[in-house]
Structure formats: structure tokens, C-alpha cells
Structure 1
Amino acid sequence: MKSKKIVCGSVLAMLLAGCSGELSESEVKEASSDEAAVLESATEKMQFELDLNMEYLQMVLDNSPLLSEKNDEKLGTDLEGTQLEIEFNNFITLIESQNGSLYETEVEGTILSTDGNFDLNGNGEMYKVQLDDGSTIYEGSYKGDINTKAGEDTFNLTLRYNPDTEEIDIVITSGVIYETAILPFGTPFLLQPALDDLYKKKNKVHDVN
């Protein structure tokens, strides 16, 4: 299955300084109805297959000539139809408390595009918390290595995922500042005040008393 596309990403805003946008609740609900996600075990493996959020990517590139140049250089000029196959695995519990959980995990995946397939692998941490509205949210941050058209590079990846609704928001950036390429996948789905609640719940995970 393929994910729908939307114009703005909340995770992308975390990674890309100077990019902003707002989503209405109706836009989020409409765009998040067809995400492709399979959760095999809460602490063993997560697998996703997602479409590139082309609409939002194009808006970002139109407003950032440097990003557009680096995307062309590293990922190719034709990204239409690009997909991400990705797996988060080898979960190790770092914190387990009444406020939530924190895991150390690994990530591996492939970006599939008409200009080539780009493999990535790395590691990071993932939180699991329950928001005040009862929804379970996973949020993770990862770093590692990725191969691109320009050669070997590093990447940063952020994830937000609701296993009950299968809504997911993944953003991958490669390279250091001024050398950055970026790809958003899936659909942003958390709005205020849910984001504030998420940050608060993540902080509470570390309070094990």
C-alpha cells in the first residue's frame, strides 16, 4: 500500500530550520487514512513501506535553491514515485516506567527511486508514550550511513508513529549543513496541543521514581 501525500510535515519542521506550515485537523485526517505500516512486535521489529511526500518536498525545494541542488546531486532529479522500505529492529529497553518506555534500536532501509536505490543503516533511540487522549505514540531519532549518487554520506532520521491508526511521519536528511539533502515520507498527524503533550510525556519517561 502507498501512503497519501500532504503539504506540510511536523517532523520535517524539526529538521529543517526556516520551514514552517500549518495543517488543519480535517487535512490531517484525510491525508492519514491510507498509511502503509506493519508493527510486528512492540519491542522487536517495525516495518514500513511509504511513499515520498512529493507535494511538501517540492514546496521546500522551491523555497531553497541550495536544498534543491543537493537533492539533485545526491538523490537524482526525478523523485516522483520514490518509496521507502524501512525496518526498525533489535529493540533494547533502556527505561521502562509507568510513564512510558525508551528503547535503543537499529534501523535499516532502502530508498527506491528511478535514479537508483539508496541503502541506509544506523541506530538511535525510540520513545513509547501514551498521550492524554489515550493514543500510543512512538517517536525516534536515528543517525547512520547512507549511500547516495554522490557517494557515501551520513543521515539523520526522525520518526513519529501511531500503531493504532497506522499514521506515520518519517523524515530523512543526509549530509551536514549547507550539504543537506532531504526526503519526507508518510503523513504528519500530530497537532497542538498533542505535540506539547508528547514532549511532556517523553520527559516524564526519565522520571522512574
Structure 2
Amino acid sequence: MKIRTTVAALVLSLALPLAACGTTDDAATASTSTSSTESTGSTDPTPEEAGFGGGLPGGGQGGPGGSVDVSSVTTEEQLVELVQDAYGDPSLDLHRGHQPVEDVLDEVLGITHEELHVRMEAGQGLAEVAEDLGIDPQELIDGMVDKYAVAIDTLLADGTITEAEADQYLADLETAFEFRVTWDGEEATPTYTGLSA
């Protein structure tokens, strides 16, 4: 019976669109990037192509096509979007958009993306998945923070933010990823507006 349930959950998870993690948008994004380069003659990406949410409120939110590209952050405004992105997309339920952090999830959890979907479809959040695998959820949080902290280091190095501001952004980033990993499925996702005065 357990095998049938597992197989049924696997089939169901594969039948569901993987767009929640952004995996089906890659080809469309590549196609859009090529056509926009051809039509404008420019090799510079548009804000949407660079991953800054096209100027929509909430910018990143971790969903397909809307997540902030860590390596492209050059302004404090983009860093604020990046921290918001760390909370994940609440409309994607427990998935919250894995694409931006998929490599961290794969490395720390050591399971396939498909298996992660099966577990989440069964009601496990990231913390529960980690604990079920004998992994401290803090390892996931730390890995995600390390991945996104590169943007903070970039802005600190170029003088856009101070050391004290960098420390606060790093703390805020950890808070956001802690929320994402331990999300209970009920609590409203905070809106991050940047450093308080």
C-alpha cells in the first residue's frame, strides 16, 4: 500500500506543472531574450530579462521569471528585491518557487527535485523535509543565505552600502530564508521595504 501511495504521489507530482519552480520558463525566457536582442539590437538585458520582476510590486517573490538574479544586483533597490525574493512566492504554497535556490536544495538535501515535490505534495515544508532526512534546517538557511550574500558583498565592495548596512541586509536575508524554510503554510509573507531609518 505504501508503494502504491508513493507511486501515485510521484505520478501526481510529475503531472502537475513544474512552473511553480520556474523550470518550464527557461525555454520561454531564452526565446524572449533572443527575440528582444534581435528586435532592439541591444545585448543588454531588459529589467525583466535580468530578473528584476519588470518593475511590478513585489518584484521577485521567488516565482518563475520573477526572481532576482543574484549576480546582476547593482543597486540597493535590487538588493531590497532580492531580500523580498528570499521569502519566496506565497501563491506557490509550500513550493514558494525553488528555481533560485534549487542548487542549494539539491546539495543540502541530497534528493532529486522530483522527490522534493512528492514530499511537498504530501504536506512537508522545507524544514520537515530536512528533518525527515536527518538534516538540520539551519543548513538550508545557511546555504541559501550564502548564495544570496554575494549581492551584499558586491554592493559593499563598490561603496553602495556601508559595512553596518551590509550586516543588517545579511541579518534581514537570514530572517527571510528562515521564514521560507520554516513556513507553516498559514503565516502571511512579510513585505520587505529595506533598511529602517
| Smaller-chain TM-score bracket | under 0.3
Name the structure where strand makes up a greater proportion of residues: 1
- Return the index of the structure with the highest Cα Rg: 2
Name the structure where helix makes up a greater proportion of residues: 2
Q: Normalised by the size of structure 1, how large is the TM-score?
A: 0.25
Q: Normalised by the size of structure 2, how large is the TM-score?
A: 0.26
